[in-house]
Amino acid sequence: MKPLYRKALITIAIYVGLILLSALLGTLSPGGPCVPGGGLLFLLFICPIVVFILFCRDAICAAEGKKDFYLSLAINSLMLICMVIAYKMA
């Protein structure tokens, strides 16, 4: 497998893992009517930090001329845009 696709699959696997971890935390620590659950808190506070760190890492590597990170950078850019839109709508 090409390194370009391998890095993109690793990025997608990280995001799938974050969603599954959020679902697990949501079931282990359910929220009430006035208190958000653990999964929601994870999505609101931890996931944006992880997305930003992955985006910065891929942007720096792509700026250094490493072509393996271009597809991963595109995926992280899309996730960052989706998160900004979601926060603007909320």
On whether the CB atoms of residues 11 and 40 are closer than 8 A, the answer is no
* pLDDT at position 89: 83
**What is the domain extent for residue 11?**
3-89
In tens, the pLDDT along 18-50 reads 999 999 998 998 888 888 888 888 888 898 899
* pLDDT at position 88: 85
Confidence band for 90, pLDDT divided at 50, 70 and 90: low
On whether the CB atoms of residues 18 and 12 are closer than 8 A, the answer is no
On whether the CB atoms of residues 38 and 66 are closer than 8 A, the answer is no
Q: What is the CA radius of gyration of the chain?
A: 15
Nearest one of 85, 29, 80 to 57, comparing CA atoms: 80
Count of domains for the chain: 1
On whether the CB atoms of residues 1 and 71 are closer than 8 A, the answer is no
- pTM exceeding the 0.95 threshold for the entire prediction: no
* pLDDT at position 49: 92
